[in-house]
A and B are shown apart, each in its own frame.
Chain A
């Protein structure tokens, strides 16, 4: 397959990041039952303020059962392609570089914004910085009863910075 042109790659990666940011933070805020659907089954490291969280299901559990109402405000974000021939898992193994399409890429996303823990608007705004690596969703179907997402979190690192 001919390598995709630069504009196609930029278009795909930035649209993927935008779609992700526009759906993930609202989910953390008000649709917590869907949180695990954002994570890859093969998710590697997931960190919140230096606390290791095992997987997407554990993240969802924490947000559903332990987390106060939380308001996120994304103020700036950007992305880059890490690997434009990402070895997306298949039924038999991995896609080889010759088999990959424009959608087989891994994307680095960095987000800067603030978060307010609690419902009152008078509570302090805490600055955060969050880094994600997004990878293609290898499965054709979404998790049971949940929407299929095209891009999934492979790794995530959240930090309060202000």
Chain B
């Protein structure tokens, strides 16, 4: 694999022109030099990683007990640190190539909520596909992420050349700059220090210790000020070359996330762990080196950039659309803060900014006014008739989650209509990640896009039988309990006239109920992968022979990215509600230990539990089960894998087994992730 990569590189560096235009050319070029200087070593290391990885995955397939025993012995006898380091490297050596796409921002698609990111991905996928490709053969961009203003996309190696040819293509008015991207791994970044080659685990341990030293849990403050004078970093040789210096920060952010993922299950909880970051006095005159901070802490409230060398707005531009929740910003003692446009620019960039350079720039009233909609938000309007709607809604969502066929039999008939539309670009809750819509999109009847009559007809599902066929093909769902989580729901209902009378007795029609529901659900995907999404669903109920004397005439569903529930919290209760809601997450943060002094083993290799080319569906499912065991038991990846593979991949059995062994005290300390015991 490594050889393949090395062979691929010369063709990429032939495109010197591309590289020159790229913003980070220096980093990449030096990264190449670094790697080339250590090729044999890196290759040897990678090879080891690969063998561990393939060994582990063949084990997941064979599930034989002999292998399990072997693995236990190996795990116990070997130095766990290096073992883990190898596994992590194996994980990163996935057979995908990464490509950096620059100069895409500000295209004609920029007004989309994601700034046109989705359109860009779609554009690239289309251009990568042969013109006659069938849907199944179309090129896919497996992964993408933002890094500064660039998008880093992962593609299969065979698409790399075609992708690089797209350099200079026009995307909605912007000339794209595309170049190969070599990720600066934690270990690679730190490799050649004083001629010595510390291991990845060693470097990571030092960074973990550094983070623990610089993190104030109580104040949720990560103090990264004055890094050049930190004795530990000086000892690590971070500032001896621009190469290590430029890679230090991204690596540090990665270590931060790795450590945090041991402690917090949800990305949201991880983000809440830090409210303030200080980058004071780091001689920064631009954001190139620290730009990944915005990905690690998108919800930051306080940011100290004072005593740096930022000259103007341009030097901070990379963070213009970042930190949407920033309340306090300090840029004092920077040249930019003397600029007459300084205050206005910052107010424009950060809509929630309250204090700038220690001076209040927006009052609480002004902030509230910005947030408020000109149409005051009221409690739901609910005009039921004899609890018909209430009973229907309660039965509906538990039925939709647990027994769709039974639900269809009870309130749908041959005249019922169901349609589904997906708003793929809907505004989302802060930085929520959006899972792909593949399972829905071929049935989405968004009339903006579905313009042909035949498609409009085929995507309308009329009658219980056709609805049944569709529902049984849609992902399983779990809606929150309405009584237990009323804040997650907004349900409105009122009578409407003019429905068809199924008995034919009233030629002028009969009355019914219009019910609109806004809420969220967990989608249970393949391999028990769970994605939270938001939905809007409108029903028209008429009198009929179904349960409760009603029939569903219309059922129209819109699914979109998770958008939270803040929007419909009535404004009058605003003060009381957030306090109550925060009680639980707050607790879990306080209990949580943030970066450990001890070397935290990596939770899972990157890409673990995620689908990837060449990885079988079974393997993905098994990896996800291992992750579940890890999160529920606090055991390491290897032990978790042993626990579940030894129990025929039955999660319940594995957990029972674990509880028994733990009670007996037969599990060795190294079975557990650092900090969990």
Contacts and interface: CB of A to CB of B under 8 A. Distances in A.
Contact of A94 (B445, B508, B536, B563): B508
Given A51-B378, A159-B516, A83 B498 contact: yes
B498 A154 contact: yes
A50 B377 contact: yes
A129 B111 CA distance: 19
Nearest to A157: B516
A75 B423 contact: yes
B572 to A, nearest CB: 11
A116 to B, nearest CB: 10
A124 interface: yes
A91 interface: no
B111 A127 contact: no
Contacts of A155: 494, 496, 514
Contact of B348 (A67, A122, A161): A122
A7, A67, A74, A83 interface centre (most CB from chain B within 10 Å)? A83
21 contacts: A14-B453, A44-B494, A48-B375, A49-B568, A50-B379, A51-B375, A76-B426, A78-B420, A80-B417, A80-B419, A82-B499, A87-B507, A97-B507, A108-B538, A113-B423, A126-B427, A127-B426, A155-B494, A157-B492, A159-B490, A160-B373
A87 to B, nearest CB: 4
Interface in A34-79: 44-45, 47-52, 66-68, 70, 73-79
A85 interface: yes
A137 to B, nearest CB: 14
Given A80-B554, A87-B509, A131-B538, A154 B456 contact: no
A29 interface: no
Nearest to A127: B427
B421 A162 contact: no
B554 A82 contact: yes
A126 B429 CA distance: 10
Contact of B448 (A7, A77, A129): A77
Contact of B427 (A14, A52, A96, A125): A125
A76 B448 contact: yes
8 closest Cβ pairs, A-B complex: A50-B378, A162-B563, A76-B423, A129-B536, A127-B427, A112-B423, A76-B446, A78-B421
A10 B457 contact: yes
A140 interface: no
Given A83-B499, A162-B567, 9 more contacts: A7-B457, A11-B453, A17-B447, A51-B375, A76-B426, A78-B421, A112-B426, A131-B516, A157-B381
B553 interface: yes
Contacts of A93: 508
A85 B529 CA distance: 45
A101 interface: no
Contacts of A161: 490, 518, 534, 536, 563, 567-568
Contact of B426 (A49, A51, A85, A114): A114
B430 to A, nearest CB: 10
Contacts of A48: 375
B375, B419, B453, B560 interface centre (most CB from chain A within 10 Å)? B375
Q: What is the predominant secondary structure among interface residues of chain B facing chain A?
A: mixed
A76 B421 contact: yes
B453 A110 contact: no
Interface in B486-529: 490, 492, 494-500, 507-509, 514, 516, 518
Interface residues of B, number: 66
Contacts of B496: 44-45, 133, 154-155
Interface string B562-601: 0110011010000000000000000000000000000000
Contacts of B475: none
Nearest to A84: B500
A70, A78, A110, A157 interface centre (most CB from chain B within 10 Å)? A78
Contacts of B349: 122
A65 B348 CA distance: 27
Interface string B426-460: 11110000000000000011111000010011001
A41 to B, nearest CB: 14
B272 to A, nearest CB: 20
B558 A160 contact: no
B422 interface: yes
Contact of A160 (B417, B425, B509, B568): B568
Nearest to B420: A78
A144 interface: no
Contacts of A102: none
Nearest to A160: B567
B447, B457, B509 interface centre (most CB from chain A within 10 Å)? B447
Contact of A117 (B374, B448, B499, B514): B374
Given A44-B497, A96-B507, A135-B498, A75 B376 contact: no
Interface in B289-345: none
Nearest to A125: B427
Contacts of B381: 45, 47, 50, 52, 157
A86 interface: yes
Contacts of B227: none
Contact of B453 (A10, A117, A135, A157): A10
B448 A75 contact: yes
A113 B560 CA distance: 10
A6 interface: yes
A159 B417 contact: no
B494 to A, nearest CB: 5
Contacts of B564: 162
A110 B373 contact: no
Contacts of A7: 453, 457
B567 A50 contact: no
B351 interface: yes
A48 B538 CA distance: 16
B380 interface: yes
A10 B454 CA distance: 9
A18 B453 CA distance: 13
Contacts of A74: 448
A162 B345 CA distance: 26
A162 B423 CA distance: 13
A82 B373 contact: no
Nearest to B556: A110
Given A75-B423, A127-B560, A161-B563, A49 B492 contact: no
B419 A75 contact: no
Contacts of A2: none
A162 B518 CA distance: 10
A159 B518 contact: yes
Given A76-B448, A155-B496, A83 B509 contact: yes
A77 B447 contact: yes
Given A78-B445, A86-B509, A108-B556, A50 B380 contact: yes
A18 B417 CA distance: 19
Given A49-B375, A123-B351, A110 B538 contact: yes
Interface in B128-157: none
B516 A78 contact: no
B427 A108 contact: no
A86 B498 contact: yes
Contacts of A81: 417
